[in-house]
Every structure is written in structure tokens, then in C-alpha cells.
Amino acid sequence: MQFEFTDDQKRFRAEVRDFLRRELTPEVWAQHRDTGEQGMWSVPFTKAFRRKLGAAGYIGMGWPTEYGGGGRSRIYQAIFWDEMEYARAPGLDRSITYVPNTLLAFGSHAQKEALLPRVVRGELAWFVGYSEPEAGSDLANVRTRAVDDGDSFIVTGQKAFSSDAHMADYSLVLARTDPGSSRHRGLTLMIVDMTSPGVNISRHPTLAGWTHHAVYFDGVRVPKSMVLGEVNEGWKVVMGAIDFERAALASHGLVAFQLDRLLEWTQLGSDQGSPPIQEPTVQDELVRLAIESEGARLTTYWLASLHAKGLMPQHETSLAVLVKRETARRLDSSGLEMLGPFGPLRHGSPAAQLEGDVELEYRDRLYFQFAAGGFDITRNVIALRGLGLPR
């Protein structure tokens, strides 16, 4: 791994940073920020901004030009993700990160030809339908059924914890196509058009500030041409997709932004009392956070360097996302503690410090610490795949 970026990579970072600064002005933040059920940005603005990213050539820059990509190294993709997170920009989600990477790795030529150019243009939004009620992180506990019906499957079942399902054009749905098989066998991953008859969605607000969705499939017809990978071999595809998801979740930019802003606040403080940075305990904690943040940053780019070499990291993605999550969790807790009585104040409160974002991120992380596997599951993956330890 090279610890220095090339001159071209540095120019690219500056270009992305300038683009985001021009597009996300204070006026835009004031007009389109939404800290309600959808998180940081309103849905219409998120969709419009994703198209702007596509027009600027930032989506799919690491994919083959054959499918509309930029043909660049995955290092450029990691830089773009990093800057997007630091700017807290909208649109950096599954629709332009791990879902299209999964299509690229496992999709048929026809699927890639039909869908990836539209992804590159920022036209498509996706959700992922793995988890089910009463199953949680046990992804193999799939009750959704897909019954063979000629050139199609008829899908019936329910998916839970489905982020952004209400604005998705397509979904990746894991269904059991061989009911006689157990656990990881007999599963198939398929691409479902969300406008299909029989798809219904209900909203479920969470303490994290996001709205998750329950998605119901009532006799939904899915052409066999939309199967991703092979029939009854869906578990292998899902494991690959989750590795891509972990790689996206490992991005470091938001942690860097939060730490920089917290450091700035401790030097100024509120209008009550002396700056917190004068306290030795605050100084000590900031140093620890800076060390952990730098470790998370290097781990992110180490992972990107493996992708750039054409490798398919497995336990390495789990390691990278674990380092990032541990750092983020500590940063959230430390931030609340340093803000003292101002910490729990939400966005919109007259006395809120840092616009109430520390409290918002603390709640938000309650969800994200479980995405693509919680802490213990991630450690188990590292132990089994990386260290070869017995079950």
C-alpha cells in the first residue's frame, strides 16, 4: 500500500471538494436539510443531487467503461466517498455504492447493460431486502418464498428494516426457491421492480431518527432473467454483496468531519465558562480520538488498495468497518460528554451546540452499528475468515 496519494489523486480530491462546496452552500443546507424521518436531507433533493453526481461523472468511476463507468482505480472511488461523507452530502448510499458493485460482480451481461448505465446517471434508487421479522441478523432465516412459474418466480413474503424502500425503483430480494433445503441452501437473490403489482410498503419510525420500512410481497411476479447469480445459489451472492456493503460503510469521512468540528468547538466552547480544551481530560481524549481516527482512515485506504489490485477482500472488509465503527462509537460518546448539558439538545433547540448534530449522530449510530452485521458478528467473521479460528 502506498501511503501517499499521487498528484492526480490529490487534484481529484480538490475537484470533488470544490464541487461539493459549490453545490451545498449554507443556503442549500437551510432549504433542504431534513432531520426528521429521512435523516439529513429531504428525499426530492437527494434524488436531484444524485443526478448531479451522475452528470459530473462521479458515480461508477471505478467501473468498466463498457457499462458507463469511468474505468478509474478504486482509490478514486474511496476518495470520492471520503469527501462525500466529510461534506455530509446526500446520495451516498446503497444506490451508488454496494448494490451496483454487486450487480457488476454477479449480474448477467444483460442485467449490467440494462441497469448500470442508469445507475451511473443517478437515475435509480435501490433498497435491499434481506432481513425479515423475527430473524434480525440471522439472514439465512428466510421465510419469503419464490415459487417457480414458467419463465418467472412468484414471490410472497415480508422484509423488515428496509431503509429507503419508499423511494426505491428496484430492490434486491432474498427468497427461498427450494423449500426443502435448509438454512443457506435453496436461496435465490433477485432484482424486483418496485412498481410491480403486489408490492406494498409501511413506514416504521425509529429512535435513531430514521424511518425504516416493512415491505410486503403478495404474489409478485419476477422474471427469471432478473435472478442475480444462479438459482438456489443466492447465499454466495449475498455474502459478496455484504462484503461490498461493509467496504462502503468503512468510509472515514464523516468521522473526520465530526472530530474536526468537535476539536474546533472545544477551543471555543459555549458562551458559558472557559473553553473545554483547557481541561487535561478533554485534551487526552481528543488525542486518543485523533489516533483512532487516523487508524480508521488508513484502514479504509488499505481496503481500497486491495480492491484497486483486483482482489475481493472478505475478512478485510469486516476489519475495516469494525475499526471505523469502534472509532465512531467512541467519538459519539465523547462528544456528548464534552458538550455536557448541551449534548442531548436536538437540532432546532435554541441552546443546541453544533446544531444538535452530536445528539443526532449518536442516535443515528444506534442503527448503523448493526448494518451488515453488528459488532459481535463482525468479530466472528474476522476470527473465522481471517484468523482461521474454529467455530
Q: Where are the beta strands (DSSP E) in the chain?
A: 126-129, 145-149, 152-159, 170-176, 187-193, 199-205, 211-223, 227-228
Distances (CA, A) of 235 to 174, 239, 314, 359: 8, 6, 15, 37
Residue whose C-alpha is closest to residue 78's, from 226, 272, 244: 244
Are 368 and 254 in contact, with CB atoms under 8 Å apart?
A: no
Neighbours of 116 (CB within 10 A): 23
Strand partners, 212: 204
Residue whose C-alpha is closest to residue 224's, from 194, 186, 191: 191
CA-CA distance, 98 to 301, in Å (whole number)?
Answer: 17
Could you give the angle at the alpha carbon of 240 between the alpha carbons of 40 and 227, nearest 5°?
95
Residue whose C-alpha is closest to residue 324's, from 303, 353, 308: 303
CA atoms within 13 A on the CB side of 87: 25
Residues whose CB falls within 8 Å of the CB of residue 225, separated by 6 or more in sequence, listed in order: 108, 110, 111, 151
CA-CA distance, 304 to 308, in Å (whole number)?
Answer: 6
CA atoms within 13 A on the CB side of 72: 17
CA-CA distance, 127 to 12, in Å (whole number)?
Answer: 29
245 is catalytic: yes
Start-to-end CA distance of the chain, whole Å, equals 32
Residues whose CB falls within 8 Å of the CB of residue 231, separated by 6 or more in sequence, listed in order: 177, 188, 224
CA-CA distance, 337 to 208, in Å (whole number)?
Answer: 19
Q: Which of 83, 85, 233, 245 is catalytic?
A: 245
Residues whose CB falls within 8 Å of the CB of residue 356, separated by 6 or more in sequence, listed in order: 35, 345, 346, 347, 348, 349
Q: Which residues are catalytic?
A: 245
